[in-house]
Structure 1
Amino acid sequence: MSVSTDYRPKSAWTITVLLTGLAMINFLDKIVLGMVAVPLMADMHLSPVRFGVVAGSFFWLFSTSTVIVGFLSNRIATRWILLAMGASWSVLQLPQAFTASASALLFCRVVLGAAEGPSFPTSVHALFKWFPDQKRSVPVAVINQGAILGMMLAGLGIPLITLHWGWRANFLALAAVGCVWCVLWLCFGREGTLTDRMRRPHAIDQDSASVAPERLPYLRILTDASVLSVFLLGFVAYWLLGQTVTWLPTYLEKGLGFSSIASGRWFALVIAFAAPVNIGLSGLSQRMMKHGATSREARARLSSVAMTGGALLFIVLATVDLTPIQKVLCYAIAGALPTLCLSVAPAMLAEMVPPAQRGSIIAINTAVASLGAAVGPVVMGRLVESHASAGSHAYELGILVTAVLLIVAALVALLWLHPERSLQQLKRDAAPIAV
């Protein structure tokens, strides 16, 4: 495949760096509640279930706003959508810093979740305007490292801020960071011009059958087996993400007995471990495609293997008698492997659907996936509360549930996720549609 003359590496990677910064802020906003869980629960007299509800409320409108903005991103420049999101996040930190009740905090988290929901799909849609298909796995993986960087900074910085100035000061710091990003984006953020007219020559064939139609009925896209398989992978990956950002700090402190500062450092280590694993596996996927592998081989099967490996390690953590440090290291590896699907899932969707509908489909995928992050913390909270006397085993029961979901998603992808075949079928079933 020849690369379009519209591909400009320097500009493309500048945008990637800026979007990585946005992802960092996004995940700082997500993780902050989990990192201040212990003092916040004590201050507001919240039970584990009520805290799980407040934490999960971040995702209540996450899906709705993601879909709405996803459709808008098909028609409005992503540069301005992303700027509006970044500015709104900064403003919405302020009421969280001063709220005095659990109900008010819950309301703040719902609104912030609605504002932050479209971030990832809009960022990916913007990124794909700068990178051709074969070069997309690594840039998306780099954006995902913004999430990892955000969680690392949270693990190291939030406990210290809380120790010196109280848990509320963290929200003021996040507001300031968001303002800085908005200024940088205004100065350097631009809209990409790359189109998806080129397809990998081995994807289907050399003729026009390998090019997606201009538009397809959304019902046909959303009932395709490969698309649904990608949605399930995302749902389970976000379930794991919700478990990690909400309950891992508490598991480390109350379940495994680490101090609050030590828990923050171990949390940062767990998150940091995901960065090289995610980039390494994404790079492997991209190299496989460069050397002739199909998307099914380099993206779908590799994701399935990674998820299965993570699930098996979670099972070991929950069933084998390990020391606290061994459990942390086991969680670090197990939690890192499934992150590959967060990098390759948007690329698989982008190669199957028309470019004119890419933003909305990636947004729908994120909306469906985020439901996992909304439900997961509540399930874990109920397990922790109902097995409170079991200590760390209460949390590990929730980890076992996650392991089962990872295995199910991996098996579904192995059986039904065929991006190249779905492109053929969607092309064959295409019919004119007014949108």
Structure 2
Amino acid sequence: MSIPRPSRRAWWLLLLLFGIGLLNYLDRQTLSILKATLKVELALTDIHYSWLVTAFMAPYILFYVVSGRLVDRFGTRRSLSAFVGIWSVANILCGCAQNLAQLAGARALLGAAEPGAFPAIQRVMMTWFPPERRAFAWSLLSPCTTVGAILAPPLVALLTTTWSWHWAFILPGVVGCVLAAGWWLTDRNPPAASGAAEAEPAAVPLRTILGDTRVWILLGARAVTDPVWYFHLFWLPGYLQERIGVSLSQLGWIGWIPSFVASLAVILTGRITDFFVARGRPPARVRVTMFALAAAFAPLGAFTTFAPSLLWALVLISAVAIICQIWFFGQGLLVADIFPRNSAATIAGLLGAVGASGGLLMNLVAGPLIQHIGYVPVFIGLACLHPLAAVLLWRTLPRLVRAA
């Protein structure tokens, strides 16, 4: 039996999604890169900066759930165009801010709009790519956040030194408005073979979704695993500088390596999982097996603090990054395997909200833990989380496979 191939429009949409995901991560990092500059320009303190971070994170967590419902209700063409347009306008408003209150309001609007990209991506991939091709297409998309993280520091620095810090916000905002218009013009006429017409049955009620035990299984796995990634995202740069002696300039040269290696591993994993799904293996079983194999290497992360050199530290950190990215990438596929398309965006939003909440909680407790007991127990504890989540999914695999 021949395997259906995605249309040419599907690949154009994937390219647009790559740009949208890249911009999503670039825009959220601009403030942290400009922290020192803005403290001088707007007379901010570290307490003010913490308020700005909270102004972004609070609506980000809340609107992860809201945006998922909006995607299931209005479809990807209208919702994603609106999300990208709103956060791009918010970014422009950040560049026009003259004081703390204006900047905080703009960051709150940015935090409300940005999480909508990920539930929309979930639905787009289910709409335009058949299951036999979906993992590979998704793996090609996964590096977009990595590229955004890599480009943000040099691009923000270039715009700031060439013109001013205002343009570091405004110019990406203008690009985002162009992408929003491009999405509106391109996301049309979904393939009839997938039953993907935008006028499909209404979104599944939230009460029905929350009453499904399979949703709670995935939420539990996400709550357990996301703190590992958020800890590495926010604490590893400081760890490398404080404990291994890496300078800021050296960090700029090597900081992208773990994410880059993880992106290559995700693309390879996508090809492998597509191979087995195309040959009739149950997709949910393939995904959970992928999770379990990746989680088997998670204990390596416990040895990070014992690395004898920077090279070995990077190897161990890269291994953990690979595991985290495979889980991020695979959870979207697992949702697509198990749940109908008119509930998938809502479930993706719930997963993102739970994951971000766990990451926020982890970062609140990480400081006191490291200050009082050091890094070693923290790394050991984090190394146990992916295996724990893998056990949870493996024990409930028969239920997930039957549902799919």
Q: 1:31 to 1:257 in 2, by over 3 A?
A: farther
Q: Give 1:292 deviation, angstroms.
A: 3.0
Which deviates the most, 37-46 or 52-61? 37-46
Counterpart-to-counterpart distance in 1, 2:182 and 2:213: 41
1:312-336 Cα deviation digits (max 9, x unpaired): 1221103x14223421332122112
Q: Which runs of 5+ in 2 are unaligned?
A: none
User: Which is helix-richer, 1 or 2?
Assistant: 2
Q: 1:416 to 1:166 in 2, by over 3 A?
A: farther
Q: 1:419 to 1:273 in 2, by over 3 A?
A: farther
What is the identity, as a one-letter code, of the residue corresponding to 2:287? R
What is the identity, as a one-letter code, of the residue corresponding to 1:361? I
Counterpart-to-counterpart distance in 1, 2:307 and 2:284: 37
Q: Give 1:377 deviation, angstroms.
A: 3.0
Q: 1:377 to 1:97 in 2, by over 3 A?
A: farther
Other structure's SS at 1:60 match: helix
User: Given the alignment of the two structures, is residue 356 of structure 1 paired with residue 342 of structure 2, yes or no?
Assistant: yes
Counterpart-to-counterpart distance in 2, 1:144 and 1:2: 27
What's 2:266 paired with?
278
Q: Give 1:114 deviation, angstroms.
A: 1.1
Pairing 1:71-86 to 2, within 5 Å after superposition: 71-86=69-84
Counterpart-to-counterpart distance in 2, 1:244 and 1:162: 27
User: In structure 1, which of residues 287, 297, 308 is the aligned counterpart of residue 285 of structure 2?
Assistant: 297
Q: 1:180 to 1:215 in 2, by over 3 A?
A: closer
Counterpart-to-counterpart distance in 2, 1:325 and 1:54: 35
Q: Is the 8 A contact 1:278 1:337 kept in 2?
A: no
Pairing 1:20-419 to 2, within 5 Å after superposition: 20-36=18-34, 44-46=44-46, 54-55=52-53, 57-97=55-95, 105-158=103-156, 170-190=168-188, 192-194=190-192, 218-219=206-207, 221-309=209-297, 311-318=298-305, 320-383=306-369, 386-387=371-372, 394=375, 398-418=378-398
Q: 1:34 to 1:245 in 2, by over 3 A?
A: farther
Q: Is the 8 A contact 1:129 1:193 kept in 2?
A: yes
Q: Give 1:370 deviation, angstroms.
A: 2.5
What is the identity, as a one-letter code, of the residue corresponding to 2:215? V
Q: 1:191 to 1:359 in 2, by over 3 A?
A: farther
What is the identity, as a one-letter code, of the residue corresponding to 2:383? A
What's 2:16 paired with?
18
Counterpart-to-counterpart distance in 2, 1:343 and 1:241: 13
Q: Number of aligned pairs? A: 398
Q: Which runs of 5+ in 1 are unaligned?
A: 199-212, 425-435
1:376-417 Cα deviation digits (max 9, x unpaired): 333334445x35xx9xx55x6554443233232222122224
Q: Is the 8 A contact 1:15 1:127 kept in 2?
A: no
Counterpart-to-counterpart distance in 2, 1:412 and 1:277: 24
1:287-311 Cα deviation digits (max 9, x unpaired): 12123322343101211321342x3
Counterpart-to-counterpart distance in 1, 2:296 and 2:127: 32
Identity, in percent, stands at 22
Which deviates the most, 220-229 or 290-299? 220-229
Counterpart-to-counterpart distance in 1, 2:250 and 2:98: 28
Other structure's SS at 2:138 match: helix
1:121-148 Cα deviation digits (max 9, x unpaired): 1122122111122322222222222111
Q: Is the 8 A contact 1:56 1:374 kept in 2?
A: no
What is the identity, as a one-letter code, of the residue corresponding to 1:346? G
Q: Is the 8 A contact 2:13 2:187 kept in 1?
A: yes
What is the identity, as a one-letter code, of the residue corresponding to 2:45? H
Give the alignment's TM-score, normalised by structure 2: 0.83
1:4-53 Cα deviation digits (max 9, x unpaired): 6xx64211111111111111111112333444566667974327xx8667
Q: Is the 8 A contact 1:96 1:105 kept in 2?
A: yes
1:250-301 Cα deviation digits (max 9, x unpaired): 4344444333332122222222112101111122122121233223431012
Q: Is the 8 A contact 2:263 2:325 kept in 1?
A: no
Which deviates the most, 372-381 or 12-21? 372-381
Which deviates the most, 367-376 or 102-111? 102-111
Q: Is the 8 A contact 2:209 2:343 kept in 1?
A: no
Q: 1:191 to 1:231 in 2, by over 3 A?
A: farther
